[in-house]
Amino acid sequence: MSDPRTVAVLGAGSWGSAFARVLGLSTSPEPARASEIVMWSRRAEVAEAITERHENPEYLPGITLPTCVRAVTDAAEAVRGAGVVVVAVPAQHVRETLRTVRADLAPDAVVVSLVKGLERGTDARMSQVCAEELGLSPDRFAVVSGPNLALEIARGEPTATVVASASRATAERIAALTAGRTFRPYTNTDVVGVEIGGVVKNVIALAVGICDGQGLGDNSKASVITRGLAETTRLAVALGGDPATMAGLAGLGDLVATCASPLSRNRTAGRHIGTGLSAEEAVAAMSQTAEGIKSVSAIVHAARAHGVEMPISELMDRVVVGDVAVDRLAELLLARDLKSEGRTA
């Protein structure tokens, strides 16, 4: 059996580190909050900085981590005995990471995904990857998503988020682990909707970033954001999600934050592309993963498989692979057939 107060965080990037800080600063009464948070880092120097100096200077410079947070370089060691295992690695590395810890995962551990991407080649959401690789029942999985820019959270700026699980009890347990003075979790049972909201908003943020890079104004960006929410909703509903979720923190809230903030990786990547860089050059110019670039092909493939129209995502996919020049983006978006703006338009 696991220790319910021990949490493992797989991934020591900005969001994984910020989330570890949230866990360590929870104001929930005992025994709802974690007493030990063990992070996994691929790099020994990062693990040492977290354990010895209580900081992650590469990803969260100037931010102090709680003393209950430490880090190791062995993923299996990190999860051993943990009651909650948080996955905070890029989407395309989730499956291989889970395989390395599968044998050491406690049979009653809950897995929490912070990942906002789809797996290329399978179009799988992270809940599906976790179920396949770990044999998880739905009540042992939760996803955290919302307008959660890592650096703002690490600085202690107020934010709200959504914890979704098929089990209300599981969602409430994870919410209690994270609740603090500046971090407010809401619970939901719409895992599909929360996951899709977090995935597609990255692609829409790429488009907004391209608008920025091309010097287009707020009308253009507002149009992309609004129509982007419409196509996100269409895909979520087609996959079984609740359209109401898209009006909340995990839908509109996350979309606005990601599209509006200069801290957004995906908007930054789009801005690089908008100024003339290729997708590969944009990725090389950044130190962190832009999930929109990595996941857009899977999003488009899933949409086509379910007969869902996603014109912005389709264009972003073509831009990423180099089939469409960014200076044609506005022309192609406006060239669609005229139609009514309705709930499913």
Residues 96 and 82: their CA atoms lie apart, in Å, by: 19
Q: What span, in angstroms and rounded, lies between the C-alpha atoms of 276 and 282?
A: 9
Beta strand 36-40 pairing with 69-72: parallel
Whether the CA torsion 203, 209, 211, 217 is positive or negative: it is: positive
Taking the C-alpha atoms of residue 211 and residue 123, their distance in angstroms, rounded to an integer, is 27
- For residues 203, 210, 161, 198, the Cα torsion angle rounded to the nearest 10 degrees is 0
Phi, psi of 265 (to 5 degrees): -65, -40
Query: Which residues are bridge partners to 110 per DSSP?
Result: 84
Q: Which strands make up the sheet holding 183-188, listed edge to edge?
A: 69-72, 36-40, 3-10, 82-87, 110-113, 141-145, 159-164, 183-188
Q: Please, where are the H alpha helices in the chain?
A: 14-24, 44-53, 75-79, 94-101, 126-134, 150-154, 168-178, 191-213, 218-238, 254-260, 265-274, 279-284, 291-305, 311-321, 329-334
Q: For residues 166 and 157, what is the distance between their CA atoms, to the nearest angstrom? A: 29
**In this structure, which amino acid lies at residue 142?**
A
What are the phi and psi torsion angles at 115 (to 5°)? -85, 135
Which residue in 307, 265, 244, 216 sits closest to 117, CA to CA? 265
221 catalytic per annotation: no
Which residue in 116, 201, 221, 294 is the catalytic one?
201
d(CA 157, CA 263): 14
**Rounded CA separation 180/178 (Å):** 6
CA-to-CA dists, residue 321 to 1, 90, 185, angstroms: 47, 20, 37
Active site residues: 201
